[in-house]
Structures are given as structure tokens and as C-alpha cells.
Amino acid sequence: MSSGNPFKLVSKREIESLHVTLEAYEHIKTGAKHYHLATDNKENVFLVALKTVPTDSTGVAHILEHTVLCGSERFPVRDPFFMMIRRSLNSFMNAFTSSDWTAYPFASQNRKDFDNLLEVYLDAVFFANLHPLDFAQEGYRIEVKDPKDAANSNLTYKGVVFNEMKGAMSSPVSKLWHTMSSHLYKSTTYHFNSGGEPKNIPDLSYDELQAFYKKHYHPSNAVFMTFGDIPAEEHQKKFEALVLDRFERSEHDIHVGSETRFTAPVTVEDYYPSTDPNDQTSVILGWLLGESTDLQELLAAQFVSNLLLDNSSSPLRKYLETSKLAETPSPLCGLEDSNQEMAFLCGLEGINPEDADVFEKEIIALFERLSEEGVPLEQQEAVLHQLEVSQREIGGDSYPYGLQLILSSLAAATHGVNPADILDIDPVLLELREKIQDPEYIKDLIRHFFIENQHRVCLTMKPSADLVEQEKAEEKARLAEIKAGMSEQDLQNLIDVANELKERQEQEDDISILPKVELSDIHSDIPRHDPEISSDKALFSYVCGTNGISYQQAVFDLPVLTEQELGWLPLYTSMVTEVGYGELSYDQAQLKQSQIVGSLSAYSSLMVDETNPDAVKGYIHFSGKALNTKVSEFVPLLKDVISTVRFDETDRVWELLLQMKHRKHQSVTGSGHSYAMLASSAAWSSLSAINHNLGGLTGIHRLMEQVKDISCLDQIMPILKSIHSKVISSPVRLLALGDGQGLGSLQDQVSKVWTEGEFSQNMTSSQMIVTPAEKKQIWTTSTQVNFVSRAFKTCMHTDPDAAPLTILSSVLRNGFLHRAVREQGGAYGGGANQDNAAGVFRFYSYRDPRSLETLDDFTKSVEWFLSKEHGFEPIEEAILGVVGSIDKPASPAGEARQDFHNRLMGRSYEDRHDFRDRILGVTEDQLKAVAEKYLLNAESSEVIITSDELANSLNLTDWSHYQL
């Protein structure tokens, strides 16, 4: 490295198990940190994080995260972040607000694209414009509901983050977590909701936003993290030229501080707003542990948490799952180690509030027993085995692999710890293997964390319909008080600001100042994976870089099922690997699995039958992974589970059923847009209708209606047994994935364990045809915001219209829906997509304060597109986005697995390549043609997920109404 480099190298460590070298640097002038994970991976990742420590719940850090991405010094356009999404081949772009840091990451495989995004991100973060109107749009603003009669009109709050947090805080789990944090952390930033409490967000002023930015968004408070094959010095030259050369070291010392420790445990009772009769009381116990910057304390806490909760044989999880005090464990169980001071939580959901004291005593008694008796060595070794698998696995199927590594160590980096100490766990595993040989080790840890530790909170949270009305009344009263203090000119000023914002939202910026990639920058090919296929076409084997892990799947035809059996298929797949098998009870099976495999699961996949577009066929996948050293045990284990699974443990099935019921019900407020799109699509597609019936709103509704008490198992248990007997009587194919060292032994084991007679050359899944769903549906639940969708019947991926429809969805989102639904309408998100697997085009909105008005915007978007000439630029932007998603890399195992699934579904490499070529050749005339053919004046289906109150106010008498 040259002597003129403004960074100094602090340390360098090779992490063999991850195939990276972590280089730690410090910027000499400002003190900014740079951690570079050097590797030969061409998907380069960048992230810059700032330590952000709010001192209230106004959401200042969260609103700032949104607002800094609305224009900067070099790029003074109104919306550079979303514009760059359209001008990029990125494999990831986003921004995050955590409890004590804010991060801005992106990833790309294209070097030109990476450099473009780096310029925009660095300028946005360190030289943001922070326009007051952007604060009004992204944070909150007050508007007059009826500007034509301002004197007699009510006021209302609007704003993207305001509505986002109304949606987020509609979740009982979110409310539970933030309430626990406010009591467990009394004197540090974790006491507050960094995302913002809706009732507190309007307390934030624009001046306070600016002051927070000036203090926190400084290189001295920054951590830069990179991953990939671009050398650290090249990154640092750009950091220096684009940002760091303009700064001196900051005088602000931003830190979290330490909590004053309790001298005795605390008991708290509180309420969360809910009108949903299915919401129940939760009791949570929380302990404040040591600092995550103390590596010994951190790793010991992680080990103990995994030991207590890893699977159903783990002592604490077993207690929570089998407790007669409540229906199910709380989703808030485990270690929170991203805060400077860690917390451990465990709890129950669906408990009688009067039993909170009993629950606390039973948990303490459990820990006292463990501190005296210890935990069997085999269970401790199983936890270390799971840690080793997770360490070795190369991810990248959801987030880019490099970003996964960066995020897993980001909290440590922001708190001053070298990420190498977190990422390189091989030495820690060796040390722990030695320590657990001492029976007193785990006993001492249990005493240290839970018995001698007095900083404990027992929180009881009850649902309250009165609180729902109280919060609405308080917001209404506050706005009324604000209006009462306003003059006529004050009201006019509100109207003027709303008009100015609307003008700003509709202005046409000169986006040519933003860098972009061209279609010529897209590589011409897509990766090809050619498996080794056995002579009987039963075993598909792929060699790929799995870093010492072997993967196997057994894929059965989905057999002919009755309507009842099909309805309970999701329950079957979720629990078939969670119950006992052979002579083993479920907890014995869970322990054995944790000793041998990294994971074992089952799921179903459905597709339209190529011989009948109205019919659906499918497969049942049993999937597992294990270290290469465990292959001789792994393959027989998977076969044994499939062959000898037991559905005779009634209590266990009941526990799993209750867990599924609660989690599915709670998922609506977080994933409502996905559920709404699936429900609207169900009117036009057999595939969507079946998925809607299985895992969508209809499936959730069935769970809520039929799972009332344990007597329902009299009907369900025989159904589960019947499904399984049909599945294992169906033809099967096998998938084997491994690296050069492990694949051979995996293939040998598969050939020994699975006999030739169990294979089938032809997959002959049953055809299923279902009744389409209603075209007008309104679903109600306890929510403060809405989710809206409209769907049209279109075509499948093989049709020539599929490519232009796919591009049209992006053009409508980029050119109209983003502005109308998100910026002007105030929804957290909105857009459109073409589902080529189901042959349906869907519009959607997410955490939306509006409903029917959003449906109008969907209509207007089509009219807008057909009413003018757009030129090629918006089409090119859409093509870049779609091709970027097609070319987005997965993990080596994930890409091979996807190739296998494409083969199952009849999607050849040539078909996929042809579709990509058609995407690259889409024209405006094609877009106009498909818009007119499928969307203009065509029959559609609509779905709204909302609250009972809004549903009643809409008075949609011709819609089908359902209560979740």
C-alpha cells in the first residue's frame, strides 16, 4: 500500500472457514473505520453505518434515513435512491434503521454499476440536502382534509414513516418488544423506539432533524464495510476523494452508555391496542446481560441461548412448548445481542394474566435445576455442531452472502469491536469444546446469567379494545387542539405546503445528472448448471462450492388429495420433520437431528400443469443439509424420518398446530400486501387459488375457525396420517449437492439407502382444479393501515406477452404508482407485478392509509401510460431492473437447487434464456398493446385488508366480507 494512503492498516486476519481475509483500517484524519472482507467473489458489497442514538421516540433516526435519500449536493434530484434502483443492475439496495445504528448498503456484480451506486450513496449520506418538503413527505405533516372549506374541516396527519410505524405498531409482537425494551433499558437509547411511535412522531421538528444529522452523520462516527474482489485501497481512494477529504475529526463523542443495574427484579403490567378477538395476553421475562463488546460474555451468551432454545429437546424450549399455562411460546424468545448491552427473553402467549407469577417462578425453578444438574454433554455438543454448520454455510439466497457477513458483525463494528472477532468462530468453537468438558461450566453460566442477575423484568401485556379507541381519540383531540390555536392564515399555510409538496412530487427532474448503466453493460449469458443424472433419471447430482456441506432433497409427486387433506397440507409439511419417528419420541428425534444435520424440513411446491392451464400439480420436498463428515449418518436419517414418521403424539401435534395458528395470524400486519395480492389473484388462477386456500388468507381463516381446542385433532390426526401414506407411495426423485470432496460420498450413500425400486422416471403429479375466489373481498383484522390489491387475468411465462407485461409492471411502478401511492398517498410502498407462474397481473399497496383512492390510482396508472408517448428511457430502466433480478446470484447450492426445480417444472435453460432475451427486446408498442389487451377496461378482482371500523365506513355491500 502506498505511503500516501489516508488510511492506516490496523490488523489483517484470514478467516479460513469463510474464505475471506478481513482487513481493518482507520482513516488517519477523521478516525473513520473501514473493514474490508477480501475474497474472490465478484458480487461486491458496500455498507456505511453511523452510530445513531435517539433520546426520544420521535423516530428521528428513521425519518432521517428516509430523508437523506431524497437528494444531495451532487445529485439534487428529488428521489435519487428510487431513481438509481431503476438505473442499476444492483443485486441489493436498501437502508436500515436499527436501535443504535443506521446503515446504507448495496451490492452489485457489475463494476461500473458498483462505482455509480457508491457515488450516489456517499453523497446522499454525507451531503444530504434535507429539504423541508422531503421531511414533510417522508416523516409527517399536517394537512387540512377539505382545503375548500378549511374553517370547518378537520386536520389529519400524513407521512410515509408515520404510516409505516402505524402499520408496524399494529403488530402485537412489535408492541411487546418495544414495551419490554422501555422497561429493561431505563437510561440508554434502547428505552426508546428508534423507528418512532406514531403518537410521538409529530413532536419532531425539522430543526431537530437537521441537528441530529449534523451530529451523527460524520465520518468520525462512521464505519465503512466492503466485501468482494475490489481491493481495499481502491475503495479508500474513492472514500477520500468523494467524502473524507472534506472533513476534520468530529468533536462529538457519540456513545450509548451503560444501564444502571436493578437491585431487584421488576414486574410490569401493560396493554396493547387490539380489536381482534384472537389476540391474547403474553407474559415475557427479560434479563439484561453483559456487554456485546465483551467477546467472552457475548459468545457465552450465544452458546447458552442456543443451548436453551435451539430445538424442542432444548430444556427451556421444551418447557415453553409443553407448558399448560398457555397456548404457545412467545415469538420473542432468545438473545438480543445487537444492542451494546445484551438481553435474553422468553415468554408465553395465550396465558391467563393471573398466571404470570406462576410462570416466573417455574422459569426460575427451571434455571435453578439446570444450575444444579447441568445439561447433558450431548446437548452441548449438538449446539456446537449447529454453530459449525452455520459458520461454514455459504449463504446468498435471500441477502447477498457478503452482506450477510457484514450485517452479522455490524453491531460489533459500530461498538468498536473488530468484526473478525465475531466472524472467526473456529477458535471459539475449539475453546468451547474444551470448556464444556467441565460439568461446572454450563452450571456457572446459568447462575451468572439468570439466577444471580437481578436485572430482570416480568412483563404482562394484555389486548385492549378500549386502548384502540383511546389512541384514536387522543390523536383526534390533539389535532383539534392544534387547529383551535390556528388562525385563518395558519390554515392557509398548511394548504400552501400541501400544494407545494404536490408540485414538488410532480416535478420532472433532470435525471441525466445521475450515473447509470446501459443495456450494453448487461452480459449476454446466464449461468448454466448441468447435473449428473443417473441412468434411471432418479438422482440429480450437482458439484458446487458448498464449503464442506452436503445437501440432499427427496422430492415426491404431490398425490391425489381430498379437499380436506389439501387444506391441511401446510400443517403436514410444517410438522412432518418436527414429530417423532421410528422408536424415537419428538424430543429424542430433535436431539438426534441437531447432532447430525444442520437442518431438516419439508415444503410443497405447486405449478400450473403444462397440459392444462386451469389445473395445478405439485411436489413435496424433504430437504436437509449436513457437514461432509456426517454424510454417512445424514442420508439414512433423512430416509428414516420420511419412512417412519409418527403422527401419534397428540400433545406434540397440538403444540405445533397452536404455534402455526399464532404465527400465521400475526404475519398479516407485516405481510398484508402479499396476502392481498394472492387473494386478488385467486379469482383468475387455479395456482393462486390453491395457494390462497393453503397459505393465504383463506388458510389463516380456516386455522382460526377450526383450531379452537384439542378436540379438533380427532379430525386432523387421521388426515395427517393419510396425507403421509399417500406421499410416500408416490414416485420420488433425489437431489444431491456437494463440493468436490463431499459429493462422491453423498452419491454413494444415496445409492445405498434409496433402493432402485423407489425411483420413478416420470413425475405424474395429480391435477387439481379449484373454484376461483370471489372478485371483491374485504378482510378485517386489528390494523391501523390498509393493504390493497387489484388483479387481472393475463398469460403464462411462455406466452409472447409475458415479457412486455413484466416490463409494464415496472414502468407503471416507476413512472406513476411510486409517486401516487407512496409519496402522495402516504403508503409505505406500492407498485405492480406480473406473476408469470400464475398468469396474473397484480397491483398492490403496503401499509396504506387509503383504500378506494388507491384502487383509483391503479386505474389512473394505466390511463396515464396509454395517454402519452414515453420514449425508451423508462423502458430501459425497467429492463435493467428486471434483468438485474433475473441475474441476481444465489449461493452456489441455491443456484444448483434452483436449476433442479426449474427442470422439475419444465423450465429448461433455453426457455429461461429465451425469456431473458425477450425482456431485453421489449418495445413501447408492445407495452401499449398488452396494456390495452389485458388492463384497459378489463374485468378485475379487488382485495382490501383493513380494520372493522374502516370496512364499515366503506359500506362495500357487494363485496364478500371476512374476519381474520
- Residues in Cβ contact with 310 at an 8 Å cutoff, skipping those fewer than 6 apart: 317, 382, 383, 386, 594
* Residue in 344, 293, 339, 413 with CA at minimum distance from that of residue 100: 339
pLDDT tens per residue across span 92-131: 999 999 999 999 999 999 999 999 999 999 999 999 999 9
Question: In whole angstroms, what is the distance from residue 587 CA to residue 544 CA?
Answer: 34
pLDDT recorded at residue 563? 87
| Position 278 confidence tier, pLDDT thresholds 50, 70, 90 | confident
Angle, alpha carbons 399-400-404 (nearest 5°): 70
> Which of 924-946 are b and which e, b meaning 16 or more Cβ less than 10 Å from the residue's Cβ?
bebbbebbeebbeeeebbbbbbb
pLDDT recorded at residue 765? 52
Mean pLDDT of the chain: 94
Mean pLDDT within 147-163: 94
pLDDT recorded at residue 760? 47
- Spell out the alpha helix ranges (H) of 333-464: 356-373, 377-392, 401-414, 419-423, 426-435, 439-446
> What does the DSSP 8-state code read for residue 758?
G
Portion of the chain with pLDDT greater than 90, in percent:
88
Q: Work out whether strand 222-228 and strand 44-51 pair parallel, antiparallel, or are unpaired.
A: antiparallel
pLDDT tens per residue across span 402-452: 999 999 999 999 999 999 999 998 898 899 999 999 999 999 999 999 999
- Residues in Cβ contact with 809 at an 8 Å cutoff, skipping those fewer than 6 apart: 831, 832, 833, 834, 841
Cα–Cα distances in angstroms (integers) from residue 733 to residues 207, 763, 897, in the given order? 63, 8, 13
DSSP helix/strand/coil, 288? strand
pLDDT recorded at residue 397? 86
Angle, alpha carbons 706-707-712 (nearest 5°): 85
Torsion of CA 923, 927, 933, 937, to 10 degrees: -160
How large is the angle between the packed helices 650-666 and 668-681, nearest 10 degrees? 90
| Position 196 confidence tier, pLDDT thresholds 50, 70, 90 | very high
In 10 A of CB 527, how many CB atoms?
Answer: 10
Residue 763 scores a pLDDT above 60: no
Residues forming beta bridges with residue 343, ordered by sequence position = 288, 336
Domains and CATH numbers, the chain: 7-253+493-513 (3.30.830.10), 266-399+413-463 (3.30.830.10), 540-758 (3.30.830.10), 776-963 (3.30.830.10)
Cβ pair 400, 44 in contact under 8 A: no
Q: Is the dihedral of CA 168, 169, 172, 174 positive or negative?
A: positive
Mean pLDDT within 494-512: 93
Question: In whole angstroms, what is the distance from residue 478 CA to residue 481 CA?
Answer: 5
pLDDT recorded at residue 788? 98
Q: What are phi and psi of 930, to 5 degrees?
A: -75, -30
| Position 3 confidence tier, pLDDT thresholds 50, 70, 90 | low
Question: In whole angstroms, what is the distance from residue 264 CA to residue 666 CA?
Answer: 33
Angle, alpha carbons 702-705-711 (nearest 5°): 110
Q: Three cell numbers at 234? A: 481502491
pLDDT recorded at residue 766? 59
pLDDT recorded at residue 761? 44
Predicted model pTM: 0.94
Question: In whole angstroms, what is the distance from residue 329 CA to residue 345 CA?
Answer: 11
Q: Three cell numbers at 378? A: 450431548
DSSP helix/strand/coil, 558? coil
pLDDT tens per residue across span 932-950: 999 999 999 999 999 999 9
In the 3-class helix/strand/coil scheme, how is 64-122 assigned residue by residue? HHHHCCCCECCCCCCCHHHHHHHCCCCCEECCEECCCEEEEEEEECCHHHHHHHHHHHH
Q: Work out whether strand 786-793 and strand 776-780 pair parallel, antiparallel, or are unpaired.
A: unpaired
Residue 396 scores a pLDDT above 90: no
Nearest-Å Rg of the Cα atoms of the chain is 28
Residue 1 scores a pLDDT above 50: no
Mean pLDDT within 856-866: 98
Angle, alpha carbons 639-644-647 (nearest 5°): 130
The H or E element containing residue 277 is: none
* Residue in 375, 370, 363, 373 with CA at minimum distance from that of residue 456: 363
Q: Three cell numbers at 797? A: 411465462
* Residue in 734, 794, 728 with CA at minimum distance from that of residue 542: 734
Helices (H) and strands (E) in the chain, counts: 35, 28
Of the segments 166-170, 476-480, 771-775, which one has the largest average pLDDT value?
476-480
- Residues in Cβ contact with 9 at an 8 Å cutoff, skipping those fewer than 6 apart: 1, 23, 24, 25
Cα–Cα distances in angstroms (integers) from residue 2 to residues 5, 9, 13, 31, 232, in the given order? 6, 11, 20, 19, 12
pLDDT tens per residue across span 687-706: 999 999 999 999 999 999 99
The DSSP line for 874-887 is: HHHHHHHHHHHHHS
Lowest mean pLDDT among 1-5, 83-87, 201-205, 777-781: 1-5
Question: In whole angstroms, what is the distance from residue 157 CA to residue 142 CA?
Answer: 5
Residue 767 scores a pLDDT above 70: no
Q: Where do we find the cell 457475548?
A: 298
pLDDT tens per residue across span 664-673: 999 999 999 9
Order of strands across the sheet that contains 960-963 = 829-835, 840-848, 786-793, 941-946, 776-780, 960-963
Question: In whole angstroms, what is the distance from residue 772 CA to residue 838 CA?
Answer: 13
Residues forming beta bridges with residue 542, ordered by sequence position = 737
pLDDT tens per residue across span 587-643: 999 999 999 999 999 999 998 877 777 788 899 999 999 999 999 999 999 999 999
> Which of 207-229 are b and which e, b meaning 16 or more Cβ less than 10 Å from the residue's Cβ?
eebbebbeebbbbbbbbbbbbbe
